[in-house]
Structure 1
């Protein structure tokens, strides 16, 4: 039975205790449940009986969540943080293997085994053709696209936990094909199959972390996926560096065999991990969701006012509101392109595409690039190791930046600085300096590029995509976004070898000019389209997108919360002005005067985020006029009138 049927059953259960008719359930396909439109009257009737009880609980839960400091949140929700962090370690395997793939292309033992087995290592070993180089790197990327597509259906049908564990088992089996490959074709097939579980890990870990962690720490925990990816790359580089002088098959077999080290301990831990409470609510399994919520928080360290019932009510109301806002549509892939979800899907997709469209291919191909620039194998792998260490340092710096600046601000500054670094690389490669000097300067600039990337668009992208999508279609939206990322990755895999390969275009570091153009385009898009989700709950993001608020005004827009409403004053051009003119009623405690309390990530340096926690209900039916000047607007968070 489809996810939509279960979600609707959850809403109707409290009203009339009637179970949905199985014959009326939408069929579940690869693209999710079929979208059956439900009349608005039916939707309102479904949760009317429980809404009156849930709204106060949800309002209190939201106020508590937004008032928590980052450290308080970590101490209280350490079980959720720990589970999200360890499950995200699956991304280490992807980063590790991607470095192995590009590193093998520079390994003379690998080239001799699969391309020219009759040649001696004492001779100059032949190059693997650029077409095969592209195929070897594209293979796992294509597998990842298929894995991401399948994960959306698998997660919605079986849940995060079972899908994750099955993917670990599948990966352990597929590694055998790569390990015992005797030809490039067999090696490519093994990489293609390994890409399937890698694709699942790419999005499932981010989705899971954003589901189980509260707003104050969501950005930090989702960004941890980027850290795991860099850790895997760093381990892969260290392994390759340690074996760079080994001229036996062990230089290939040891790195490939190390892939079996990761799945088993992660699988054992995943047995203890909890299912996503948001997924359980969508399935109508409310009692299980309540039990899971109790295991995701340390009750002895929970902040004052926190309650499991309040947290559950907030999840239920957010789910119900999104169901109503989309007029009862389902949770399939096609629903990501309907109504307000279309904008959310577009922004999420291009946000992730920006990672691949900003020149990051040069980092992935750095071993090959450094050696083509004239460095010895030892020097090139030393640079690669430093590169990934700088990536880790950059991610740690990004956590400090996230506590002081918004995601949008970090994204824009990062793109601007990356454009400057790439332009400098292009200038150095174009002025005709000594090739050896160009090699060292370009290597140093690539390290600087890695540091800037690690401070900005690398980790911030994970925070953005996890907060921009609606909770009902989050899994599918992030999957679509990642497929866009991987699709552009295929483009990178085709273009980059030809740009760097001496038997093809042989651009060398002049390739940087190619990516400068893309960086400028990405900056313009980010400025006009990517909003600021910092400090916003999922419910507040739903309202901002439903109202069609401009991306540049997300941070300053006043958002009513949990059934509260407010009318702007005479001539008010914004909800904030309405508050000022009317002498706003109490915020939370009913005291008069002042703007609504602001939300933040818990830092005293956080920018003010306009929200409305509680507004008087007096005059709820007043001023229904629609004058153009001095227009009175009515805001209903849980279903607008």
Structure 2
């Protein structure tokens, strides 16, 4: 087989590399053309048209992503437990006149869940590619149901450590499974929005937990902290049952050689009659074609290929995008309840503030969808980092003034702003980028690796945060002002993130997976992805079969 090359149309155009041209496979050329026609039509759709034509795919993506409500819920619960009277009465120790959870257990309860999530990520990196998204999801829900028992019947902090470790395993599976699934099942114009919905899961779960904890804040018995755990049993059964009827990713089916099943999935995920005769088959041929291009750099789809050739650059960007999501400084808002209580705010008032922070997460994602329709992923990421930094600096300055109720309210207001800005920009757009960035053959493993890096960073970050703010750790007598001064440390991290993003993060929105493969294969500079025209947009080459 021979690929017909294109003429050079200018300094800012790229096409298939020689290695990609040599990777052609025996597919009907007319089907390939039909596949590129389908992709070209997807790129021209507005959001409204894309939703009208592919609402079924969008709904299935949202359904599987809703599993992240569980993780957002429990992560917020365990952090807020440290200021919950019922939890303090059961597990707290006295420091002066106040009950508190020791700093080592505060960081331990948070970080042990991260360790479990790391284990779950590794498991999902293997299971999702081997068994498909549906089977991996259902298996994770079965494990989730069992592990909740450990938390509900815990009688010591050590037992809670084991429970958080066990629950973290299925959470880790859901974190990346839903992102990879959304990226592959949704059309180009919905891909960014539906990947960003993952942030709604975390924010929505946190919002639900805030309401539950506010209701339980007046309870002093053990049920005051057990009820929030028990409510997690609401999720697994309906989610697992619904997933049984969900379509499998057509991209995964194509990689496994199940082309007829992939064609049925494509037809099922669009409105009836959307695809003309042979168009669904052509779209499957496009997937085969893209897979052939990616075999140049990832013939086995293995872990080690993530660090080879062109994929090494993609991996570095993947790690950076996940790292920026944590080290931008938003982590400072994680212990708002405990800090505001230490500043003199009532328990009810502190939990009201936590409810506001959680609401900002949901509102922010809705605004981010508007931003995604107007601006590129790179622009939103840069702007988000810059604006969060502009809030961190005033908080740091407040650490050098007298500690008063007005200071606490000012810090609370700035934390709300940081939370809103994060959920407009870095929170949701991170998922849009990481779902598009890897090659299809390495997508699940690459996202797993990036999230693994995020969790390791989170362990380090939460250790620092707990020791910066806990009254029994570094012997701070004025924790509110120490929190404020710690914002200067996070401001420095924020500047580092800004510099990396400017020089290393390319624009990924609006491209098909094959087009991104070509841009990376041609080593297009980071800040020029949108400036380069990809030659042969609807058909990269014609197969000539001898």
Task: Name the residue aligned to 1:379.
Answer: 349
1:414-493 counterparts in 2 under 5 A?
Answer: 414-430=384-400, 432-493=401-462
Distance in 2 separating the partners of 1:411 and 1:49:
41
Q: Answer yes or no: is 1:359 the counterpart of 2:306.
A: no
**C-alpha displacement of 1:103:** 1.3
Task: Name the residue aligned to 1:218.
Answer: 191
Distance in 2 separating the partners of 1:162 and 1:109:
39
Distance in 2 separating the partners of 1:238 and 1:190:
23
Deviates more, 1:148-157 or 1:50-59: 50-59
Q: Answer yes or no: is 1:248 the counterpart of 2:218.
A: no
Deviations 1:330-357 (A, max 9, x none): 1121111111111111101110111110
Q: Answer yes or no: is 1:546 the counterpart of 2:516.
A: no
Deviations 1:293-321 (A, max 9, x none): 11111124x37799211211111111111
Please point out which of 230, 248, 252 is paired with 1:275. 248
Deviates more, 1:52-61 or 1:289-298: 52-61
Q: Answer yes or no: is 1:317 the counterpart of 2:289.
A: yes
Task: Name the residue aligned to 1:71.
Answer: 48
For the residue of structure 2 that corresponds to 1:403, the secondary structure is helix
Task: Name the residue aligned to 2:465.
Answer: 496
**C-alpha displacement of 1:274:** 0.8
Distance in 1 separating the partners of 2:28 and 2:345:
67
**C-alpha displacement of 1:54:** 3.4
Deviations 1:171-225 (A, max 9, x none): 0000000110111111100100100000011000011001100101100001111
Note the residue ranges of structure 2 that are not aligned, 5 or more in a row: 2-17, 477-481
Task: Name the residue aligned to 2:365.
Answer: 395
For the residue of structure 2 that corresponds to 1:126, the secondary structure is strand
**C-alpha displacement of 1:115:** 4.1
Change (3 A) 1:184 1:299: same
For the residue of structure 2 that corresponds to 1:56, the secondary structure is helix
8 Å contact kept, 2:86–2:217: no
Task: Name the residue aligned to 2:71.
Answer: 94
Q: Answer yes or no: is 1:136 the counterpart of 2:136.
A: no
8 Å contact kept, 1:112–1:125: no
**C-alpha displacement of 1:433:** 2.8
Distance in 2 separating the partners of 1:467 and 1:53:
27
Distance in 1 separating the partners of 2:44 and 2:86:
58
Task: Name the residue aligned to 1:258.
Answer: 231
8 Å contact kept, 1:215–1:535: yes
**Superposed structure 1 runs of 4+ greater than 4 Å apart:** 40-45, 303-306, 635-638
Note the residue ranges of structure 1 that are not aligned, 5 or more in a row: 1-10, 12-39, 562-611, 615-634
Q: Answer yes or no: is 1:308 the counterpart of 2:280.
A: yes
8 Å contact kept, 1:108–1:125: no
How many residue pairs get aligned? The number is 521
Task: Name the residue aligned to 2:144.
Answer: 171
Task: Name the residue aligned to 2:9.
Answer: none
Deviates more, 1:198-207 or 1:288-297: 288-297
Task: Name the residue aligned to 1:335.
Answer: 305
Report the TM-score, using the length of structure 2 for normalisation. 0.91
Distance in 1 separating the partners of 2:305 and 2:340:
45
**C-alpha displacement of 1:363:** 2.5
For the residue of structure 1 that corresponds to 2:399, the secondary structure is helix
Distance in 1 separating the partners of 2:31 and 2:25:
10
Q: Answer yes or no: is 1:508 the counterpart of 2:483.
A: yes
Change (3 A) 1:42 1:455: closer
**C-alpha displacement of 1:41:** 10
For the residue of structure 2 that corresponds to 1:247, the secondary structure is coil
Task: Name the residue aligned to 2:202.
Answer: 229
**C-alpha displacement of 1:229:** 0.9
Deviates more, 1:479-488 or 1:282-291: 282-291
Task: Name the residue aligned to 2:13.
Answer: none
Q: CA RMSD in A?
A: 2.2
Task: Name the residue aligned to 1:191.
Answer: 164
**C-alpha displacement of 1:56:** 1.3
**C-alpha displacement of 1:150:** 1.2
Task: Name the residue aligned to 1:82.
Answer: 59
| Structure with a larger share of its residues in helix | 2
Task: Name the residue aligned to 1:523.
Answer: 498
